[in-house]
């Protein structure tokens, strides 16, 4: 099927789709002052979603285009599910979050199709994939329009890989007790297989295709491959919900790596962003003989999962994401908070015990989702731990320098 026709089939004009912010039935916080977190961006009184301009720009989206799309959303006079929130336009039409980001992605897709230079064409396809992914953000379960945008993002990502100078292989992994899942293995064009490999454990509001920049700019130059899989209840892992055994899917994948010819299964490490660090640290304890090291960035392993006062500071969107991943869309706030307690790695009896796997954890001061103590606990629990303080400004350069240090550390552990 031609890529150009896919969007026409997926996105038929409709005003009956439920608007994203209405999918989770929680008692939302009273709207407070603007909050900034390093890896989620900004939240403000008049937006439901956190505006994650740091990571969107880092992934390759032009900051001017971000402003352009947000302006179209803000300027819309169409019906909103919440008149106070700009990104809640009902229906797939002008001003709707998903519509506007998909529209921008289609422009890059068209340029990619018309571009005779393979390298430029690949970059344009990658741009399209990024816009389609943002369209589906924060990827709540049951958001039909978002799921359709994710299909477009995966297709565009695969088209980009055909033209850019690296190899991408889609792998299928059998999962005990249910449906198999698929992942993307990114292999550098320098060196020969089998490659040392980083298993990516992403945050709960991103797709596995959102980490291409980590591979292309930080891992591939060091001859390191990257294997991505979606977190439970999202993308290719949508049939699985997040449970207290948060690392279940990644652990199943890790155990199957000896059968993947392109991966040196004796040189594998894990890298966790936000809640993905919860997954990666669990793997460090449960599979120490399969991992050379675990790196974390802004980890969510205890504080906001266990302490109710910290949960009050967490933006509504992020709490909705947690509820969605756990299959608790209609649960009360109290039930959600009690369930979150069980996801704390400290309460599970893991963190605080000595772990033989080398672990690095990077943190920002005054990070509402991941206080310094979170990273200190991870580093001090490892027999070979490292704590990485990341300056809050300049934000982009600090993020870049942190990734350089982390990728260097992972490379050293996999020698």
3-state SS of the chain is CCHHHHHHHHCCCCCCCCCHHHCCCCCCCCCCCCEEECCCEEECCCCCCCECHHHHHHCCCCHHHHHHHHHHHHHCCCCECCCCCCCCECCCCCCCHHHHHHHHHHHHHHHHHHCCCHHHHHHHHHHHHHHHHHHHCCCCCCCHHHHHHHHHHHHHHHHHHHHCCCEEEEEEECCCCCCCEEEEEEECCCCCCCEEEEEEECCCCCCHHHHHHHHHHHHHHHCCEEEEECCCCCHHHCCCCCCCCCCHHHHHHHHHHHHCCCEEEEEEEEEEECHHHHHHHHHHHHCCCCCCCEEEECCCCCHHHHCHHHHCCCCHHHHHHHHHHCCCCCCCHHHHHHHHHCCCCCCCCCECECECCCEEEEEECCCCCCCHHHHHHHHHHECCEEEEEECCCCHHHHHHHHHHHHHHHHHHHCC
Contact 345, 278 (CB under 8 A): yes
Task: Return the pLDDT at 310.
Answer: 84
Return the half-sphere exposure (C-beta side, CA atoms, 13 A cut-off) of residue 141.
Answer: 25
Of 1-5, 117-121, 187-191, 233-237, give the lowest mean pLDDT range. 1-5
Task: Return the pLDDT at 255.
Answer: 98
Task: Return the pLDDT at 2.
Answer: 47
Return the half-sphere exposure (C-beta side, CA atoms, 13 A cut-off) of residue 3.
Answer: 24
Q: What is the mean pLDDT of residues 7-30?
A: 71
pLDDT tens digits, 379-392: 999 999 999 999 99
Structure tokens at 219: 């891992």
> For the chain, what is the mean pLDDT?
93
Task: Return the pLDDT at 309.
Answer: 83
| β-bridge mates for residue 225, sequence order | 197
Task: Return the pLDDT at 313.
Answer: 81
Q: d(Cα 173, Cα 317) in Å, to the nearest integer?
A: 31
Q: Which of 107, 154, 148, 126 is nearest to 59 (CA)?
A: 126
Structure tokens at 308: 């109710």
Residues in the chain: 415
Confidence of residue 6 (pLDDT cuts 50, 70, 90): low
- Answer yes or no: is pLDDT of 291 > 60: yes
Q: Is 29 exposed, middle or buried (0-12, 13-18, 19+ CB in 10 A)?
A: middle
Task: Return the pLDDT at 17.
Answer: 83
Report whether the peptide linkage leading into residue 393 is cis, meaning its omega lies within 30 degrees of zero.
Answer: no
Nearest 5°: phi and psi at 85?
-115, 120
Contact 111, 34 (CB under 8 A): no
Task: Return the pLDDT at 71.
Answer: 97
Q: Is 256 exposed, middle or buried (0-12, 13-18, 19+ CB in 10 A)?
A: middle
Q: Kindly give the pairing relationship between strand 359-364 and strand 385-390.
A: parallel
Which residue bears the tokens 């068209």? 110
Contact 61, 131 (CB under 8 A): yes
370 — alpha (psi -120 to 50), left (phi > 0) or beta?
Answer: beta
Q: Cα dihedral angle (141, 144, 147, 153), rounded to 10 degrees? A: -150
Q: What is the mean pLDDT of residues 183-198?
A: 96
What's this model's pTM, rounded to 2 decimal places? Answer: 0.94
Q: What is the mean pLDDT of residues 141-158?
A: 96
- Answer yes or no: is pLDDT of 126 > 50: yes
Which residue bears the tokens 């155990």? 255
pLDDT tens digits, 310-319: 888 888 899 9
User: Does residue 199 or residue 393 have the better pLDDT?
Assistant: 199
């Amino acid at each position: 099927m031609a890529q150009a026709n896919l969007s026409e089939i997926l996105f038929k004009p409709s005003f009956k789709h439920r608007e994203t912010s209405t999918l989770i039935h929680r008692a939302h916080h009273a709207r407070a002052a603007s909050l900034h977190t390093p890896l989620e961006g900004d939240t403000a009184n008049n937006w439901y979603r956190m505006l994650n301009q740091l990571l969107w720009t880092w992934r390759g989206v032009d900051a001017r285009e971000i402003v352009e799309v947000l302006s179209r959303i803000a300027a819309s006079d169409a019906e909103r599910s919440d008149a106070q929130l700009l990104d809640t336009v009902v229906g797939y039409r002008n001003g709707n979050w998903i519509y506007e980001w998909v529209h921008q992605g289609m422009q890059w897709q068209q340029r990619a199709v018309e571009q005779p230079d393979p390298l430029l064409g690949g970059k344009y396809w990658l741009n399209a994939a990024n816009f389609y992914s943002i369209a589906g953000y924060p990827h709540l379960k049951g958001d039909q329009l978002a799921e359709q945008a994710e299909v477009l993002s995966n297709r565009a990502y695969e088209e980009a890989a055909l033209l850019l100078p690296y190899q991408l292989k889609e792998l299928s992994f059998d999962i005990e007790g249910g449906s198999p899942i698929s992942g993307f293995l990114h292999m550098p064009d320098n060196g020969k297989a089998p490659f040392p490999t980083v298993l990516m454990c992403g945050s709960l509001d991103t797709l596995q295709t959102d980490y291409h920049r980590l591979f292309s700019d930080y891992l591939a130059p060091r001859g390191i491959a990257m294997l991505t899989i979606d977190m439970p209840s999202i993308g290719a892992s949508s049939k699985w919900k997040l449970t207290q055994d948060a690392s279940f899917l990644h652990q199943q994948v890790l155990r199957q790596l000896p059968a993947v010819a392109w991966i040196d299964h004796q040189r594998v490490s894990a890298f966790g962003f936000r809640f993905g660090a919860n997954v990666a640290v669990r793997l460090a304890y449960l599979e120490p003989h399969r991992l050379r090291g675990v790196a974390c960035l802004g980890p969510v392993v205890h504080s906001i999962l266990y302490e109710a006062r910290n949960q009050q500071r967490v933006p509504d969107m992020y709490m909705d994401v947690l509820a969605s991943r756990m299959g608790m869309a209609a649960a009360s706030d109290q039930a959600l908070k009690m369930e979150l307690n069980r996801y704390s790695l400290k309460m599970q009896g893991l963190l605080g015990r000595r772990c033989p796997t080398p672990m690095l954890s990077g943190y920002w001061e005054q990070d509402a989702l991941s206080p310094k103590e979170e990273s200190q606990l991870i580093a001090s629990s490892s027999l070979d731990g490292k704590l990485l303080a990341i300056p809050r400004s300049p934000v982009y350069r600090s993020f870049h320098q942190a990734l350089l240090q982390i990728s260097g550390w992972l490379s050293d552990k996999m020698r």
